[in-house]
A and B are shown apart, each in its own frame.
Chain A
Amino acid sequence: MLTYLLAFILFAVGLYSVINKRNLIKIIMGVIIMEHAVNAFLILVGYRMSGEAPIVEEGVSISEFLSTAVDPLPQALVITSIVISLGVVALMVGLAIRLYQHYGTFDITEIRKLRG
C-alpha cells in the first residue's frame, strides 16, 4: 500500500506545480511529473512479488513461466503512453516558445495582461 501511496504523492507534486506556478516551463514540468507518476502506478499494479520480466527463456516450462512473469499488458500500454507523452511535451514546449517570442515572458499572468 505504501508503494501506491508514493506514486500518489509524486502525482500530487506534479499537480501542485500545474495549479500553483505561474511560469509556463514549471507548468510543463508539472505535467511531465504527473505523466511519470501515472506510468509508475500502472507498472506497480502489474507487478507480482519477486516477479520476472515477461520474456520466455529457453528451458523454462510454460507453467513455471506463468507463475513468475509479471503482467505484460500494463507494460505494453505504458510504452505507448511514454512515447505519446514525448510528442505532447514537444507540442507544449512549441506553444511556450511561440508565446515567449510574442510576449517576451514565460509568466502567465503577464501574458494575460498583455492581451490585445
Chain B
Amino acid sequence: MVLIQVFLVFAIIAALVAVEAPSALSSIISLGAVGFGLSIAFLWLGAPDIAITQVVVEIVTLVILIRATIARGVTEIRGNESKTLLIGSLILFGLGSAFFANYLSDFPEFGKSAMETFSNPASQFYLKFGLDKAGGPNIVNDILLDFRAFDTLGEATVLFAAILGAITLLNRKVFVDSGEEKQ
C-alpha cells in the first residue's frame, strides 16, 4: 500500500516537471515517466493487463509527441502563463478540493473494492462464471472479448474514427486542393 502511494507521488512529481520544464525533450520524457510510474503502480494493484497496455500506449504517445515538436525543430516549449488565469485556476482548484472533501466520506474505503460495498455487483458474476461461460482463465479478457464484446466493438469504432481524422488532418494533399495551404 505504501509502495502504491510512493509510485503515485513519483507520478505527481514527474507530472509537475513535465508541465513546468521549458525544454521540449525533458518535458516529453517526464510525461513518459508519469505513464511508466503509473504502470508499475498498476502491477502492484493487481492489474497486469493494464500495465502492459499502458507501457505500449506510453511509447507510442512519446513517439507522436516527439514527431510533433523536436522533429520539426521546436526544442523549447515555454507555456507563458498569465496572472488572471493563475488566479482563476487557483479558484477552480479550491472549488475542486471542496467538492472532493465533501464527497470523501461517500467513497468506499481504500482497500475495500467497490464490489464488496454494494450488494449483488456485476463483478462477482464475472468472477464466478467467467471460466465456465467464457472459457478463459483471465477474467479481464473474458469481460473484454465475451461478456462486453460490444463495448470493445465500440472502442474499435472510436479508435478508427480518431485515426481517420488524424490521417485526414496530416494529409497535405487535401489542404492544397481546397486552397487552405499557404506555403
Contact = CB atoms under 8 A, between A and B. Distances in A.
Specify whether A and B are partners: yes
Interface of A: 1-10, 12-17, 19-23, 25-26, 28-30, 32-33, 36, 39-40, 43-49, 51-57, 62, 65-66, 69-80, 82-91, 93-98, 100-102, 106-107
A58 to B, nearest CB: 8
Interface of B: 1, 4-5, 8-9, 11-12, 15-16, 18-19, 24, 27-28, 31, 34-35, 38, 41-42, 45-50, 53-54, 57, 60-61, 64-65, 67-69, 72, 74, 77-82, 85-86, 88-89, 92-93, 96, 100, 104, 107-116, 121-124, 126-128, 130-131, 137-140, 143-144, 148, 151-152, 155, 158-159, 161-163, 165-167, 169-170, 175, 180-183
Contacts of A66: 124, 127-128
A2 B169 CA distance: 43
Nearest to A77: B151
Nearest to A34: B15
A79 B144 contact: yes
A21 B81 contact: yes
A83 B24 contact: no
Given A26-B19, A49-B111, A84-B155, A21 B79 contact: yes
Contacts of A4: 104, 107, 110
Contact of A13 (B15, B104, B143, B167): B15
A54 B138 contact: yes
* Among A7, A43, A51: residue with most chain B CB under 10 A: A43
Given A40-B8, A57-B137, A1 B107 contact: yes
A97 B116 CA distance: 47
Contacts of A36: 11, 34-35, 38
The 7 lowest CB-CB distance pairs between A and B, nearest first, are A21-B79, A87-B162, A49-B111, A94-B166, A94-B169, A26-B79, A76-B143
Given A44-B110, A98-B170, 5 more contacts: A8-B100, A40-B38, A74-B114, A91-B166, A100-B68
Contacts of B78: 23
B143 A72 contact: yes
B68 A25 contact: yes
A86 B61 contact: yes
B50 A82 contact: yes
B108 A45 contact: yes
Contacts of A70: 45-47, 113
A11 B85 CA distance: 18
B12 A13 contact: yes
* Among B9, B46, B100, B152: residue with most chain A CB under 10 A: B46
A71 B81 contact: no
A85 B54 CA distance: 11
Contact of A94 (B88, B123, B170): B170
